[in-house]
Structure 1
């Protein structure tokens, strides 16, 4: 995605003729990154205020195991009312940003309502006990629904107005910062911290090196490397946002992550048992390679309780690197020499100055880091814990509407043909390297060779 796009206001989806020309200067200066920071911060502040004031915030539920659960719990009048109320709040928040940016609020409201409805469908499907057991979360279904919509029908203008995946993603990422706590890194212990540093750095640079060897462009390579080395979909989203990456590429990488996660969840626990790998080492291995805490826990359950604890601790250590990676990737990408439309590097006499770096730097990263620092050092652990479920629930809604939008924007034919399958080859080889490299260091760090074997009993 070009620098021009990265600096565009939230109305970037509109034509020039549709943009209101006489907006005030300070409103013109608010890019979608700033709107993401504003909305994300407003949501965090509101949840903190209401929770500390003793006001309970109830969100819709989507977990169900039987037809009776679906009818009497998910589709009950009370839960449906909560779904509608939540959607109206999200519509109001996003609508304010659209209105102040010069967008068409009526068309946006119509399109957003459909996108939100489809996101709810993905939550309901992913909330089934049997579906979630196999690690198939709402992300899978949101992406598939969006791809089907975008490829089977021509999107009307009122729907296109609401297809703003980057805006939704970045707002969700600001809220995600509240879950990246320094306390989690401390809890992980020295073995988990060392494993995270060694695994994340080595796998990230190997993945980027491999992508370049296979002639995959750096934009794709960075998203792939971050997904493989840190924590899958979340890391891919952060990396894509940090470099204003092509949404088709993010969709492609997300699909690869989800496809690879299923066999890994089955094969790795089997390998731990078959090769008699000690449970604590097996758990650290699972935590260092599987992409989410949920999949780590599910796979660890197939091994044992110690594997679950070791895996979750190892995963916490790697999750902390999301913010660090986003910060340095954004700075490095801002300093890269711009390319012309033909892809050749333009000759520049001087490197970009701090002003250029600031203009290109994704501002949502600042909101992400600020949220992490506030929740790590300024709030009490009890307060942070009390608001975590609500903020996590709101963040997943932003991500769900984002993935519906990403799917709508991605043409399936483009995903299949994209760079001749080389990104998929890069991802698979890098993931295999990740699996064996992490297993080696799990043995070294959790096997008693350097540190005492952790006692998780």
Structure 2
């Protein structure tokens, strides 16, 4: 009988809470900090010193230890390949931080995650990533660890306030956008599997929703892979341009964050875009995104219900309440748990001492995740399948989502 492995969500929660525990007990890793620079002599002086490489080594060992722990839960550990792959990813991420520290770019407030993504995309699409450098590309795991750590910096009062409003926005958006997406897919003559997966990905929460829907309807893995590629590729320009549109339009932070959280289809891209707009917008973006994630289990249950009863002759298993629990994103519980811990259970001195190091670790998890997103994204994938009709349906549905969610965000959060 094959060994049962732990779900990635739970692995992320375990690693994040071990991190929190270590920091609370005084182990606060000193991670690489590249000072703002504007001339070549300063670069030489900075990288000639031992300190920057010592800090990089600490970052590498911290992430490697986390990865080895994660892999031990799955029973698949290839230390040499993992070592080489992670070394490459850390190098690219450090290079991204170096670029982001250039004075002119720093003055524009551009975050390191953007350059992590761009470098990864350039390598993936111009050179390619050899198989030996792929084992440490664990995007979803890195994002989920970072999101649980983010909970330590979001007070529970904020969750109650913004989370309640976020659920209100999410219900309106998910129902309307899902129906519109399904209608567009039908107009473009896509089959039922594509319709269900694209509609869920656009309206609920991107990759996780597509995977949950594919599981609920026992969908074709090739179609699922294509929808995931669409989610990742379309999220990139949204992540890059929507923060600047929000700034140009002078949106309140709550509205801007709710707009980003309700439209961008990957949690990591939501975090990166929210980070560009500041802490307040990031808080609302994350909470609205989590509000949509919470609906995932319920959505998967109803999709399973519809699919099984509309295809009785195929003999699909009838869904149960267990379906909701199995599809529910467990890292959301980790985020809430971290917020509860730092809001109510820890003394103020411990909270003040731990928040800084945890924020620094969280930033690096996101930066590494975005390096990985770039490294695993191929722009050439988008128009290959079915003459680009799934891509066209996805883009049309997403355009509607952007406009409709902005209206709802103003109605719900405009007076927050």
- Name the residue aligned to 2:118: 144
Instruction: Tell me the CA shift for residue 208 of structure 1.
Output: 2.8
**Cα distance change on mapping 1:363 and 1:91 into 2, 3 Å:** same
Matches within 5 A, 1:26-425: 28-50=4-26, 57-62=29-34, 64-67=36-39, 70-72=43-45, 76-99=49-72, 101-134=75-108, 136-185=110-159, 196=166, 198-215=168-185, 217-225=195-203, 247-261=228-242, 263-269=244-250, 282=252, 285-289=255-259, 292-297=273-278, 316-317=283-284, 319-333=286-300, 336-337=303-304, 347-348=314-315, 351-415=318-382, 419-425=390-396
Tell me the alpha carbon deviations over residues 364-421 of structure 1, each in whole angstroms, 9 at most, x when there is no partner.
3443333233233322455334322221221232222222223222221113556233
Q: Does the CA contact (< 8 Å) of 2:20 and 2:149 recur in 1?
A: yes
**Cα distance change on mapping 1:335 and 1:264 into 2, 3 Å:** same
* Separation in 2, partners of 1:346, 1:379: 56
More helix by share: 2
Alignment RMSD? 3.8
Instruction: Tell me the CA shift for residue 107 of structure 1.
Output: 1.1
* Separation in 2, partners of 1:283, 1:35: 32
* Separation in 2, partners of 1:257, 1:363: 26
Tell me the alpha carbon deviations over residues 103-142 of structure 1, each in whole angstroms, 9 at most, x when there is no partner.
2111111111101111222222234453355464333322
* Separation in 2, partners of 1:56, 1:402: 21
Q: Does the CA contact (< 8 Å) of 2:254 and 2:284 recur in 1?
A: no
- Name the residue aligned to 1:454: none
* Separation in 1, partners of 2:210, 2:342: 24
**Cα distance change on mapping 1:237 and 1:126 into 2, 3 Å:** farther
Q: Does the CA contact (< 8 Å) of 2:15 and 2:66 recur in 1?
A: yes
**1:320 counterpart SS class:** helix
Instruction: Tell me the CA shift for residue 437 of structure 1.
Output: 4.1
**1:59 counterpart SS class:** coil
**Cα distance change on mapping 1:46 and 1:436 into 2, 3 Å:** same
Q: Does the CA contact (< 8 Å) of 1:248 and 1:406 recur in 2?
A: no
Task: Give TM-score scaled by structure 2 length.
Answer: 0.74
* Separation in 2, partners of 1:368, 1:193: 12
* Separation in 2, partners of 1:153, 1:182: 45
Tell me the alpha carbon deviations over residues 141-193 of structure 1, each in whole angstroms, 9 at most, x when there is no partner.
2223223322334533321222222232333333233233213357x7xxx77
Q: 5+ unaligned residues in a row in structure 2: which ranges?
A: 186-193, 216-223, 261-269
**Cα distance change on mapping 1:383 and 1:237 into 2, 3 Å:** farther
* Separation in 2, partners of 1:223, 1:90: 30
